[in-house]
Structure 1
Amino acid sequence: MNEFFGNPNFSVSHQKVSASCPSNIALIKYWGKYENQIPANPSISYTLNNCKTNTEVEFLAGEKFGVQTFLAGKEELKFAEKIEKYFKSIVEYVPWILEGKYIIRTENTFPHSSGIASSASGFGAIAKTLMELDELFSGKIGTEAKVKKASFLSRLGSGSACRSLYNGLVVWGETHEVQNSSDLFAVQYPNSEVHTSFKNFNDWVLLIHEGEKTVSSTVGHGLMNTNPYAERRFLEAHENFALLKVILKNGDMEGFIKLVEHEALTLHAMMMMSDPAFILMKTGTLAVINKIWEFRKETKLPLFFTLDAGANVHLLFPSNQEQTSIREFIIKELLQHTQNNGVVKDVMHF
């Protein structure tokens, strides 16, 4: 833990830095947490390649502490309040952070409310800019330590953000299955333990619902505290890690599909079994799932899904082989269930 505390001997100056950070999609889900953004169970995610947040931070040294934020050019007062609160909470790790004013300009390469975690990419990008400033004000640290601390800092803003600091498959949460895994920061899953079948995937996100969610993820996480099935779910996540480790090693695509879809449905089952219960899936979500199952039964082709905490569907299929029939099926049969024929196309490769 000591490695994350900041250097008290710093010297601030006017600076402008920028950073880019991708989003990620979890395969084994994180749902439920303890104080200080400690996950109730380990998770593993794919880092996306195209869906990113690009952030520029201007630091005005010596001015009264405050934050101005602009999202795609539009000032966002609520987001500024959130970032101010976040900066105040991490002062022991970044001692110079309250010594000036911030102007933050940020843009996403993907639509808002698209089922792609903008909080993950957003806080990941902010943490990266903070580490750039930290090097300028407090002195350089090694590249590995810099990324690790950025992961640690981003977690305190948005839990899943810590996974976005690394490429490929990324683990957050302590598990015996992954060496050096931690609740405090994410680690990259060893590439040498991943079969080539899982190193190149498409992730096409069907925008079933583009509005605000009826229940926020923060509230949903909190409801796990009283969910009667929570402890069994946390245990299952550990069990699934052991299964996934074997699957990733031996290239068992059928096992991979089964586990990933099960995890997605378990996430939403936990929501339905909360008190109060809530459902974030829409009729279009269910229609797409049923069509995917029927398509896979008929064709034996590896098209499958995962879900985030929302209605939109992440369509996963390998990109290292020609899958024209999968693409045609998505366009012809699945797009009709989206709100505005909306789809965000991304890839995951490492």
Structure 2
Amino acid sequence: MTEENFIPKAYCKTIENGSFSWASPSNIALVKYWGKKDHQIPENPSISFTLDYCKTATTLSFSKKETSEDYAFEIFLDGEKKEDFKPKINTFFKRIEVYLPFLKTYQFKIETSNSFPHSSGIASSASGMSALALCLVSLDNAMSTVKMSQDEFNQKASFLSRLGSGSACRSIEGDLVVWGEHAQINGSSNLFGIKYEHEVHPVFKKFQDTILLVDKGEKQVSSTVGHNLMHDHPFAKRRFEQAHDNISKLMSAFKTGDINTFIDIVESEALTLHAMMMTSMPYFILMKPNTLEIINKIWAYRANSESKICFTLDAGANVHVLYPEREKESALKFIKHELIEHCQNEHYITDQIGFGAKAIIN
């Protein structure tokens, strides 16, 4: 499959006006994507859990306009107009126009809201860009001569999402999604995410994710800057090889239910991501003292019990605490008694594995 597959052949009709609405979730990478080539192509494959509660709901309203010289759109978050969001959407539209040639012929109104507080420090780019892409593909499909199958629809939405925010391509489906070519995963692609179809032991079903909000401020380093630091990184080549190896090991752990190997890989991946940032030039420390306090308490709790609780991190200070559903009661008790004191204003979000985006019927 190539990019040309996503260019529409012809449209059978013009739709004067209307709207589409989608809710799309965030995701948390278990094997991290860090470093990209041109056109949002990942340097290494990644695999993620799709989340359930943390999601973005977007309504795209559209009406035909008289001229088609430029993009015309307004963006609202929770009913408030957001001019500062426009440059990112404008860049997104430029990247995807060849695949959605109608973009300049409509006036768009993008209304979006998150199930989590905008100031929480939880990245909304994956859920937001995927929700918008799904709305746009819905319009594309409605006008197309040949309707897409569900798989084709999901692939195009994932493909377009990637061009807005790399990790957004992993938010279309669930519960486990792979993005990037991997020798052992048939159909894996650098162009879009695919649902992980290999065998998964029941212990990994309904996994829980409690997100500890250590720092709810703006990210110290943007994702784009962070990824670009990998271009001349002295350890980049070995890191990309490590990601391939870790996915292979995770595949075996998923099949057999080897949760100890799962823990080792997921925590190592989280710390490797931060190690790459600490050893780049310029260098950054994205964890906070309370991030380390939480990690050490998780390790101590696991060492002194039979718990299979573990952690992962994004490129920031917040901690995703992962644990099997069977431990939900005891894990939440531990989190509330021992960990939330290290969160900003004791704020945290409880979530679990989800199964992808859903259309909202207006």
The CA distance in 2 between the partners of 1:302 and 1:187, in whole Å, is 27
> What is the one-letter code of the residue matched to 1:3?
N
| 1:294 corresponds to 2:300 | yes
> What is the one-letter code of the residue matched to 2:105?
E
Q: Secondary structure at the match of 1:178?
A: coil
The CA distance in 2 between the partners of 1:6 and 1:349, in whole Å, is 30
Match of 1:149 in 2: 156
> What is the one-letter code of the residue matched to 2:6?
F
| 1:327 corresponds to 2:327 | no
CA contact (8 A) 2:220 2:286 kept: yes
The CA distance in 1 between the partners of 2:344 and 2:279, in whole Å, is 27
CA contact (8 A) 2:121 2:219 kept: no
Match of 1:7 in 2: 9
Match of 2:318 in 1: 312
Deviations 1:262-313 (A, max 9, x none): 0000000000001010011000100000000000000120111000111000
The CA distance in 2 between the partners of 1:127 and 1:325, in whole Å, is 39
Report the alpha carbon displacement of residue 96 of structure 1 after superposing the two structures with TM: 0.9
Selected match of 1:256 from 235, 238, 262: 262
Match of 2:341 in 1: 336
When normalised by structure 2's length, the TM-score is 0.93
Report the alpha carbon displacement of residue 115 of structure 1 after superposing the two structures with TM: 4.7
| 1:345 corresponds to 2:347 | no
| % identity of equivalent residues | 50
CA contact (8 A) 1:205 1:312 kept: yes
Selected match of 1:43 from 34, 41, 46: 46
> What is the one-letter code of the residue matched to 1:58?
S
Any gaps of 5 or more consecutive residues in structure 2? 356-362
CA contact (8 A) 1:19 1:128 kept: yes
When normalised by structure 1's length, the TM-score is 0.96
Match of 1:85 in 2: 91
Deviations 1:178-208 (A, max 9, x none): 1100000011101x51111111111000000
Report the alpha carbon displacement of residue 116 of structure 1 after superposing the two structures with TM: 3.3
Match of 2:245 in 1: 239
| 1:265 corresponds to 2:267 | no
Q: Provide closer, same or farther for how the CA distance between residues 106 and 181 of structure 1 changes in structure 2, counting only shifts above 3 A.
A: same
Match of 2:29 in 1: 26
| 1:172 corresponds to 2:175 | no
- Report matched runs for 1:48-197 at 5 Å: 48-63=51-66, 65-139=71-145, 140-190=147-197, 192-197=198-203
Q: How many residues align?
A: 348
Any gaps of 5 or more consecutive residues in structure 1? none
Q: Secondary structure at the match of 1:301?
A: coil
Greater RCO (CA < 8 Å, at least 6 residues apart): 2
The CA distance in 1 between the partners of 2:260 and 2:40, in whole Å, is 33
> What is the one-letter code of the residue matched to 1:107?
S
| 1:16 corresponds to 2:22 | no
